[in-house]
Chains A and B, each alone.
Chain A
Amino acid sequence: MTIRKTLSTAVRALRRNITRSALTVLGIVIGIAAVIAMMEIGKGSSGSIAKTIASMGANNLLIFPGTAATGGVSFGGGSSLTLTAEDCDAILRECPAVAAAAPIVRARPQIIYQDKNWVPTFVYGSTPAYLEVRDWTQLAEGDIFTDADVRNASRVCVVGQTLVRELFGGENPVGKEIRVKNVAFTVVGVLAPKGANAFGMDQDDILLAPWTTIKYRVSGSSSGSSTASTSTTASSTTGNSADTTYPGAPSVFPAQSSTQSADAPMPVKFANVDQVIMSARSGTQIQPAIREVTSLLRERHRLRPGEPDDFSIRDMTESANALASTTNMMTNLLLAVALISLVVGGVGIMNIMLVSVTERTREIGLRMAVGARSRDILRQFLTEATLLCLVGGLLGLALGRGAAVMVQRFLKWPVESSVEAIVASIVVSAVVGIVFGFYPAWKASRLDPIEALRYE
């Protein structure tokens, strides 16, 4: 019996009792629809939970420069000046596992507005990407400073909610002028409230400004003049400088020959940053991101194999573990629900097929009398069960997708379609058909044709 003939026989047999077939299919339809809808809604929820945990910094990575040591005396973590803003740009360019990266320059100056003063916990010089890394792009008022502000070392800043309360008495600070260590800054935006972090530090107690401004105008840790424009003097000497901060700026000095530069080396103005903060694309991308960044930075810093890293990368293991275990738990929960409903649907199929075998005993006897072998009967009933399940699976798929879309549209729940769930449910419904259809089909094939023909 060819496959085509088997199929058409099965279709004909199913059509002969269309009501019963439809009811059987309904069981599978509901099972599969429930699985698909659960999977999509569950995946959406788990995605949004993962996102929430990620916004708490679970997938953030911090790079600190390495330790400087002189004569056996270590100066502690972050004391060497090896990490630059260019490193940060290179990471973003060359590490696919990194979603966003921003350099950070720290300071702890006093802030003055009119007759009030305040020392924020965090005064960070960074780039607009900082807010991306921290998942903090929503501003309460105004706007974040721009990349152009970073290049120009503009005296603009964004403040957190705590500063608004302490310095401005709750009034809108956008456009107001504050002084940071006697440098006047214009407030261009107010960050949305974020509250305390895991260690109880007030994350809203923050002032964010372009890192160039903080480094060259506020910290004043650079050599020479307090203005950033002098950094061009070092532009041709070493890669470890801020030359790309002013792209296209004409050189004010004639170019030096290599002999000249060797004879009279220019004082190098380091554009090192205190740390780089970056975010991995997802919880699972944290380890790949660490590997990629490590190899990139070793190359950029020209470290020989065997030489220790001149930087260190820290991840948020605790939060990352919470993220991973939550995602795992959600997946397992969904799997359990899916399995239960499929087993229920499968038992329904088996039930109906057993009834069908009993009801069609005479037909089976007749088919055997005209030359059907037991395996033909087995195949016919298996095909019928599988066909029922497949049709039910496809309908259930459509229904489940529809339900998920409705839930998304009307209940505004997060929903995420999943190709694996679709493929799995189709495969599983076919398997359910074969597994639960096998017993009735086997029973049918074992019938004695004489008994079956006489069955009333």
Chain B
Amino acid sequence: MTDPLIKLHDIRRTFHVGEISVHVLRGISLEIERGGYVALTGSSGSGKTTLMNLLGCLDRPTSGEYWLDGVEVSKMSSDARAMIRNKKIGFVFQNFNLLPRTTALEQVMMPLSYTNVGLSDREAKKRAVELLRMVGLGERMDHRPSQLSGGQQQRVAIARALINQPPVLFADEPTGNLDSHTTVEILEMFDRLNRQEGITIVLVTHDPNVAGHARRNIRMRDGLIEEDTVRKAAVPEPEKAQVGA
């Protein structure tokens, strides 16, 4: 394998609360190869959300180096990081974070309005429609969040995350608000995106079943990586449910 998609070197993050310094990340070095499927686990306060924010370029480390797709991003200005988030990163959140009273199609097209290389309206729409079909919502493009179930909302969010064809998708507890049946649906979609589209997926979860879908598990504890295990086809891949195909 050539250069990894994500490379962290001795990342530290310290928060200052009043006069107390809280060392949340205490020297993390990590490489995630292209096409990887990584689950980030750990108890509350282990620093996994902070690490996720750093990986997602929402935050900057106090010290350390972070290469994303061959670019050192830890010293970038907030505008430059916004560009990186737009082009190279897709986010999926626990609470979906859809815009209220906005149709699914508009939700999916929204990140394109912050992209510099302007797609024509027709191209943008075409791409959004394709993505919505892919996540199995071809019939519900003009539905608003209030008219969609939780699983459907999360699928809209996934389509939105993919609109700029990013190499990596970060998901923060993507199934935390979903029932077990819908959880399976969403996870199968992640599996398929990883396998068929070659998108690198990094997800944060508490649920061992969810973590079981990933090929690599990273467990954190007190701001350090406690365990990093790679499993070869730990979960038998169910070929039966091709969601939205």
Which residues of A line the B interface, CB within 8 A?
1-2, 5, 9, 12, 16-17, 362-363, 365-376, 449-450, 453
Report yes or no: B91 in contact with A369, Cβ–Cβ below 8 A.
yes
13 additional A-B pairs beyond A366-B97, A453-B97, beta carbons within 8 Å, are A16-B101, A369-B91, A369-B97, A370-B110, A370-B114, A370-B161, A371-B111, A371-B115, A373-B79, A374-B78, A449-B58, A450-B59, A453-B58
A217 CB, nearest partner CB in chain B, Å: 89
Tell me which residues across on chain B come within 8 A of A370, comparing CB atoms: 85-86, 91, 110-111, 114, 160-161
* Chain A CB within 8 A of B118 CB: yes
Contact in complex: B100, A371 (CB < 8 Å): no
Query: With the chains together, A449 CA to B100 CA distance in Å?
Result: 18
- Nearest first, the 7 A-B pairs at minimum CB distance are A371-B86, A370-B111, A371-B114, A16-B101, A373-B82, A373-B79, A366-B97
Docked pose: A12 CA to B113 CA in angstroms: 13
Q: Shortest Cβ distance from B176 into chain A, in angstroms?
A: 14
B165 CB within 8 Å of chain A? no
Once the chains are docked, how many angstroms separate the CA of A17 from the CA of B102? 11
Q: Is B93 an interface residue (CB 8 A)?
A: yes
**Shortest distance in angstroms between A11's beta carbon and chain B's nearest beta carbon?**
12
Question: In the complex, which residues of chain A have a beta carbon less than 8 angstroms from the beta carbon of B160?
Answer: 370
Most B CB contacts (10 A, CB to CB) among A1, A9, A370 go to A370
- The answer, yes or no, to whether B53 is at the interface (CB within 8 Å) is yes
Which of A362, A365, A372, A449 lies in contact with B114, CB distance below 8 A?
A372
CB <8 Å contact, B79 and A374: yes
For A9, list chain B residues within 8 Å (CB): 113
Of the listed residues A366, A369, A373, A376, the one surrounded by the most CB atoms of chain B closer than 10 A to its CB is A369
Which residues of B are in contact with A by a Cβ distance under 8 Å? 53, 56, 58-59, 78-79, 82-83, 85-87, 91, 93, 97, 99-102, 106, 110-111, 113-115, 118, 160-161, 164
* Distance between Cα atoms of A450 and B57 in the complex (Å): 10
Consensus secondary structure, chain A interface: helix
Cα of A371 to Cα of B160 in the assembled complex, Å: 12
Q: A16-B100, A373-B82 are in contact. Are A2 and B106 (CB under 8 A)?
A: no
**CA gap between A90 and B33 in the complex, in Å:** 98
List of A residues within 8 angstroms of B111 by Cβ? 370-371
A16→B98 CA distance, assembly (Å):
13
The closest CB in chain A to the CB of B107 belongs to A366
Given contacts A371-B114, A371-B115, A374-B79, contact A12 B85 (CB under 8 A): no
B106 contacts which chain A residues (CB < 8 A)?
A: 12
**Complex: chain B residue closest to A5, CB-CB:** B113
> Which residues of chain A are within 8 angstroms of B79 by Cβ–Cβ distance?
373-375
Q: B83's contact among A363, A367, A371, A450, by CB below 8 Å, is which?
A: A371
Let me know if B102 and A371 touch, CB within 8 A: no
Report B127 CB to chain A, min CB distance, Å.
15
Pair B99/A369 contact, Cβ less than 8 Å: no
Contacts of B78 in A (CB 8 A): 373-374
Q: Is the CB of B114 within 8 A of A373?
A: yes
What residues on A are CB-neighbors of B86 within 8 Å? Answer: 370-371
Whether B115 and A16, one on each chain, are in contact in the complex, defined by CB atoms closer than 8 angstroms, is no
Establish whether residues A16 and B113, one from each chain, have CB atoms under 8 Å apart when the complex forms: no
> A residues within 8 A CB of B83?
371, 373
CB distance from A241 to the nearest CB of B (A): 83
Closest A residue, CB atoms, query B53: A450
Report whether A371 and B82 are in contact in the complex, using a CB–CB cutoff of 8 Å.
yes
Q: How far is the CA of A78 from the CA of B58 in the complex (A)?
A: 92
Q: Is the CB of B114 within 8 A of A12?
A: no
What residues of A have a CB within 8 angstroms of the CB of B87 in the complex? 371
The answer to whether B99 touches A363, judged by C-beta atoms less than 8 angstroms apart, is yes
Q: How far is the CB of A112 from chain B (nearest CB, A)?
A: 93
**What is the minimal beta-carbon distance from B68 to any residue of chain A, in angstroms?**
14
Least distance between A299 CB and chain B CB atoms (Å):
68
Q: Report whether B110 and A369 are in contact in the complex, using a CB–CB cutoff of 8 Å.
A: no
